[in-house]
Chain A
Amino acid sequence: MIKLAKIAHSRAGDKGNTLVLSLFPFDENDYPRLIQEVTAEKVKAHLSDQVKGEVSRYEIPGLHALLFTCTEALGTGVTTSLALDAHGKSLSYALLEMKINPKP
């Protein structure tokens, strides 16, 4: 197994209590692999400490991008959360810790 960080980059954003994570392969040829390996279910399980709500995944093939929206992910919301990283800005790197199968 390899870490997602080996083949992809990500940026975290927030809207209220929803965490938004984008995911892009360094090499566009790896995009189908990301679609196959990084499902909404796997992201929800991987981020179970943070995400209490639902994870939805959007595919944007023109940009070779995936976008995950994770509800109930930032405590009571950015403005009132007691978390050290209330915005969840560091959580892109939590996603990139996910393990996926090495190239077949």
Chain B
Amino acid sequence: MKKDVIRIGCGAGFSGDRLEPALILTEQGDLDYLVLECLAERTIALAQKAKQQNPNLGYDPMLERRITGLLPLLVKHNTRLITNMGAANPLSGAQKIIDIAKRLQLTIKVAVVLGDDVFASISGDEPSMEGNKALSTYGTLISANAYMGVDAILPALKTDANIILTGRVADPSLFLAPMIHEFGWDRADWDLMGKGTVLGHLMECAGQITGGYFADPVSKPVAGMENLGHPFVDVYPDGSGIIGKVSGTGGEITIRTAKEQLLYEVLDPGNYFTPDVVADFRSVHFEEIKKDQIKVTGGTGKPKPSQLKVSVGYQAGFMGEGEISYAGAHAKERAALAGEIIEKRIRNLFDEFRVDFIGLSSLHGPVIPQGSEPYEVRLRVVGKSHSQDKANLIGEEVEALYTNGPAGGGGARKSVKEIIGVVSILLDRDKINPEVIIP
């Protein structure tokens, strides 16, 4: 029997998202499915590095914490979880989930979706989409993961697994797959694929449709941000949906929050490419049916692309950073002098180097800001190097300004981090072979 409505919640919109909104959704949201979207472009390359160092790692670093809290609630409410927390190592992630279930004395089954890792079939000669130059010219390659679509997830949904754990799949596909599974949609009905993708895209960033990344206390005030509720969507067989959240949680769902999220990261509203469809968002219509409930209709689609996007990670060296603050009379001039001193001493050691004045021009540059002088200015110096020692030098030099630099410098901080660059290529769909394993 096909259902007449399904409810899908989104409890995380990125790897570092809050833990408790997913718990609240699962306990009080009456969900059929919970989705946790935890994989940004770069996250999977970082996970691949973790796996190289320890073959049992490479799944999402928050997986254990998220699953430990959620598992009893998922079982209690018979809610299925779909998540890309498998990252670079879904099999080890699944084993971790099974271990947690044993510890909690819960009986669950995990279906693992594999096939996104195409590193072995990359030669390095492929031209990148960004710069149209061979991948190998960027640096040592460390990962290549294809964005798979619903075709990879659907076989896992056909099993009786409670948890579907994937690596890289396109974010909206995490939501579209259960819609197709429950309603028996024809995967070549491009308008339905487009409508389902609209709903998935609105949901995938979790709190970004309930007031997160939106609130402005002056022009767009939102109440209860400290307790921001994450969204769920009631999906109907015709591809329309109603987005809501658990009552009593903070934040708001309005036509404004929905519009901002619909166009978020969209390069062309008439052609939104996913592995499942090329969706057209231009006919989407929002209607507020009551407080915090937005009805979504419209949206169309065109046939899915023949090639899939592959994110390729490479080692891009080290980024060294140092900061120090100045306040009061001549703060700007003293910060500028501090920056000049560092530049004169070490700038020639770096290919890329920049000096920012936080509070003045570090975010929008020197052209736009106008108005009065800030009371405080924080100098930020940053540079990129393939040598970790050289990258270290930046923070050391900034710290040394305490006793060798302008008057009144305080609060120096330094850091070095490894840079993982990501570029993309396109790969023919038939080169990617999705597979489902139940460990």
Contact = CB atoms under 8 A, between A and B. Distances in A.
A82 to B, nearest CB: 5
Contacts of B365: 49-50
Contact of B269 (A16, A17, A48, A67): A67
B265 A16 contact: no
Interface of A: 5, 9, 11, 13-18, 20, 22, 24, 26, 46, 48-50, 58, 60, 62-63, 65, 67, 69, 76-80, 82-85, 89-91, 93-94, 97
A63 B368 contact: no
A13 B269 CA distance: 13
B220 interface: yes
Contacts of A80: 316, 384, 419, 421
Contacts of B420: 79
Interface of B: 41-42, 129-130, 213-214, 216, 219-220, 256, 259-270, 281-286, 298, 316, 319, 352-354, 356, 358, 362-368, 380, 382-384, 419-424
A42 to B, nearest CB: 13
A77 B263 contact: no
Given A13-B264, A69-B268, A85-B363, 19 more contacts: A9-B260, A11-B260, A15-B265, A22-B263, A24-B256, A46-B368, A49-B364, A49-B367, A58-B268, A58-B269, A60-B263, A63-B282, A63-B284, A78-B42, A79-B422, A82-B319, A82-B354, A83-B354, A90-B364
A18 B269 CA distance: 15
B130 A49 contact: no
A63 B367 contact: no
A69 B267 contact: yes
Nearest to A18: B267
Contacts of A9: 216, 219-220, 256, 260
